[in-house]
Amino acid sequence: MVHDNDSFIREVNEELRSEQISGVWRRFRYVIIGGAALIVLGTAAYRGYEYWHTHNASIYGDQFLAALNLAKDNKPDEALAALEKLEKEGGGAYPVLARMRAATLLAQKGDVTGAVAAFNEVARDNAVPEVMRDVARLRAAFLLIDTGTYDQISAEVEVMATPGNALRNSAREALGLAAYKAGDVAKAKQWFQEIANDATAPRNVANRAQIMLDTIAASGKAP
């Protein structure tokens, strides 16, 4: 008898739970269906964005590579046109890369003034990542070594030639070369010595700095 009563109670409870669930479903089925649909649509949208991003990144990468190949094939004007299009229509990092490569092409064509202006434009663009802006400043500075003054180059990169800056030794090298060209041997030696004293300096930069220090020493002009 007790067993039969227990079974009956369980059956009643199950019916009640079933009825409660049915009631919830009747009252809220549209909300539940709508919520499920939103989850599905959200997932689909996310996957769609992933595909779009990957697909477009691949397209922009192909366009950038095509522009590089045009430059390699000695077609600078066509390469510049392709890079300009990528700068306007591309996504991700490619517009900035296109601007940097276009500036380099201008320099290769002999338009140093235009190239320096293009690099400076990137360096002043706050929308560009800081490391790319610093690289642009360096490129402008190295281009100016032949045609500019020490003060011009110092204005570009001396702020970077400080401990802690990732590009400090490249900035020091540009400053050292500019000082040497200007005939300020003491200042040139100072910059090259800072590179030589920096244990973390890239080997190629350190090697060039040592060559310049040896050259200065051999000239007899070192203080």
Residues 32 and 101 in one domain: yes
pLDDT at 179: 93
Using an 8 Å Cβ cutoff, are 191 and 161 in contact?
yes
Residues 96 and 143 in one domain: no
Structural domain for 22, as ranges: 1-110
To the nearest 5 percent, what fractions of the chain are helix, strand and coil? 85, 0, 15
pLDDT at 56: 55
End-of-domain residue from the set 71, 93, 110: 110
Residues 14 and 57 in one domain: yes
Residues 160 and 82 in one domain: no
What's the number of CA atoms in the CB half-sphere (13 Å) around residue 92? 12
pLDDT at 73: 87
Residues 159 and 170 in one domain: yes
Residues 205 and 188 in one domain: yes
pLDDT at 4: 44
Residues 132 and 172 in one domain: yes
End-of-domain residue from the set 83, 110, 137: 110
Residues 6 and 60 in one domain: yes
Using an 8 Å Cβ cutoff, are 141 and 112 in contact?
no
Ordered per-residue pLDDT tens for the chain, 223 residues = 444 445 544 544 444 444 454 554 455 445 444 544 444 444 444 444 444 445 456 788 888 888 888 888 889 899 899 989 988 887 777 888 889 889 888 988 889 999 999 999 999 999 888 888 888 888 899 988 888 899 999 998 999 999 988 889 999 999 999 999 999 999 999 999 999 999 999 898 999 999 999 999 988 766 6
Residues 66 and 144 in one domain: no
Domains: count for the chain: 2
pLDDT at 65: 84
Residues 130 and 79 in one domain: no
DSSP tag of 3: H
pLDDT at 8: 42
Integer Rg of the chain from CA: 33
End-of-domain residue from the set 94, 110, 126: 110
Which residue in the block uniquely carries the two structure tokens 């369980």?
Answer: 10
Residues 133 and 223 in one domain: yes
Residues 83 and 153 in one domain: no
pLDDT at 108: 87
